[in-house]
Structure 1
């Protein structure tokens, strides 16, 4: 395959292919970007492994990947703040700018959403959602701006303040990003749960103060009591990143009264939770959808050294080897997998 726009496309459950597609040309307000590093996310895996993400069914073939960095290769006629050769991170949403949500600034809830699939050679994207990278940031770090921006937005949504105690359920890539963001926010004690011991070992290295190995069939109320004992008190806020129904219940049982629980992870579209407990505790339960206006803060945090995202990367693969990279990620045998879209016919890297 030698076409300039080789792309990784998912057609349905267990059906993902490398295909050649035409190279897109930018519109007046767009830029064309030569892709470099793209992270593999759990939502990408869900579309491949399950053919869906929560209640979002895969209705047509989809180019994979939404954690991109790259180099601007062409600019549209109306773009003035970016130029060819700029190294950039890309916020993958393509909001319509015209619906009621967009007009209120809630572009992450656009009623006509389009996402740029980014595991490909070239994409075209609205210039207003492309951010120049500082010279001291690598393309790999640029790719990880997206999950860190989501984690910053989650901390904002949950109202995390310096000195508060935080419970994070799920030690996957999103949970790791939340721990890094929460440290930057000044969280006091962070407790993380997961069903995989190796993930907990790693997340302690990057900032978790307390970890707990849980079983998928373990009683959430019993787990919550154990977590409160490990933390020494009830968490002020909780962020659920795993998509596990029992984990959501655990956050409700564990969190202090009049606190807040944030649901970030996706699983099934219907979840049973102990709502009476949440009512008696006067808990605020919030949802979280992608991020909004968080890219500049995430870029600054990485560039300044306040947040080290490079430590999350465990594997790198070329675009040609991207299906192997997805297999590694699906087997949960690493932390963060990066697809390098710039090296045709390259070999996989482990560093």
Structure 2
């Protein structure tokens, strides 16, 4: 099979590799579409994200859809031919975190496109069969791939304790910010404010979920006193401003990948008894994500602004530098 491989910082190459052979509890998926994530871009440009360092060739890509073409000995053969969205992770299922239902925190996790585990910029991948989630024909291959970033938005909404009537502030009008705004709307939020300095991104957020937008370079949000603040940009100044915008006993969820260390206003957190947390991937989000898309509560197809082939992954990874870019897709087939 053909595979796009990250060989070093800003260095990609095409390789021929053997098609994976599914283990007993796995399925072999012929990859259709793969979304480009900000983490892929970080690995490509910087060679690392926090403690995860690319020190050997790595296949990027973890937002994917495809079709099951073979199954392991322990999997029902009737699954062959099924369209699926892949949850790109393999927890151990035995540790205390897994047994508590927090398999996203499994210390033995093997996650696609996180060193040293290869990802999905390839023609075929293998995954445990219960993490290959069936999708209805009403969901396109592109939208099925984007159930992964939607899962991030769902996890953020859950951690943010968003319920009908909630008031939410989201920093960042990029893909995760826009998708999280849609998730917040689906969870019943009455007011969803998206903060972003770029006018095009504010306009996109208004189209998809936001009830209002603000330009943080011109507008102060500290008087909003929202129930929940979600950082989807990773910018230290945005995180601090967001903390100051939350009501007493409100919730702050850090989602964006940015600086490793941020100076936080401790008196604000203490005096307002803020619940400050983060999310690390997700657990049990694909079925809900597929439901939200199939019922029209979340739109993913219109978020795609760039399409590239497997031979053109480098341009896909750099598409975010173009004005108006939101979400890029690599079409493997």
Residues of 2 paired with 1:82 and 1:140: CA distance? 24
| Structure 1 partner of 2:278 | 287
Residues 324-347 of structure 1 deviation map (CA, whole Å, 9 limit, x = unaligned): 1111124464111011111xxxxx
| Structure 2 partner of 1:273 | 264
Displacement of 1:114? 1.1
| Structure 2 partner of 1:314 | 305
C-alpha contact 1:36 1:69 (8 A) present in aligned 2: yes
2:236 to 220, 239, 245: 245
TM-score, with length taken from structure 2 = 0.94
Say which SS state the counterpart of residue 3 (structure 2) adopts: strand
| Structure 1 partner of 2:221 | 227
Displacement of 1:228? 4.7
Displacement of 1:82? 5.5
Residues of 2 paired with 1:96 and 1:142: CA distance? 25
Residues of 2 paired with 1:277 and 1:141: CA distance? 40
Q: Which has the higher strand share?
A: 2
Displacement of 1:59? 3.0
Deviates most, 305-314 or 325-334: 325-334
Displacement of 1:195? 2.7
| Structure 2 partner of 1:103 | 99
Residues 292-340 of structure 1 deviation map (CA, whole Å, 9 limit, x = unaligned): 0111000011111121111111111111122211111244641110111
Say which SS state the counterpart of residue 243 (structure 1) adopts: coil
- Unaligned runs of 5+ residues in structure 2 are 113-118
Displacement of 1:275? 1.4
| Structure 1 partner of 2:178 | 176
Displacement of 1:22? 1.7
| Structure 2 partner of 1:75 | 71
Residues 68-100 of structure 1 deviation map (CA, whole Å, 9 limit, x = unaligned): 000001000101286111000000011122222
2:131 to 129, 132, 148: 129
Q: Which runs of 4+ in 1 moved over 4 A?
A: 330-333
TM-score, with length taken from structure 1 = 0.89
Residues of 2 paired with 1:202 and 1:36: CA distance? 26
Residues of 1 paired with 2:8 and 2:92: CA distance? 26
Residues 247-302 of structure 1 deviation map (CA, whole Å, 9 limit, x = unaligned): 11111111111101000111122211111211111100011001101110000111
C-alpha contact 1:68 1:90 (8 A) present in aligned 2: yes
Say which SS state the counterpart of residue 186 (structure 1) adopts: coil
Aligned ranges 1:173-212 → 2 under 5 Å: 173-212=175-214
| Structure 1 partner of 2:10 | 14
Displacement of 1:183? 0.8
Say which SS state the counterpart of residue 278 (structure 1) adopts: helix
Residues 4-61 of structure 1 deviation map (CA, whole Å, 9 limit, x = unaligned): x212222332222222222111000000000001100111111111111134222332
The alignment of Structure 1 onto Structure 2 pairs a total of residues equal to 327
C-alpha contact 2:28 2:68 (8 A) present in aligned 1: yes
C-alpha contact 1:55 1:269 (8 A) present in aligned 2: no
Deviates most, 90-99 or 162-171: 90-99
Residues 152-183 of structure 1 deviation map (CA, whole Å, 9 limit, x = unaligned): 11100110111111000011110011011011
Structure 2 vs 1, CA of residues 167 and 259 (structure 1 numbering), >3 Å: closer, same or farther?
same
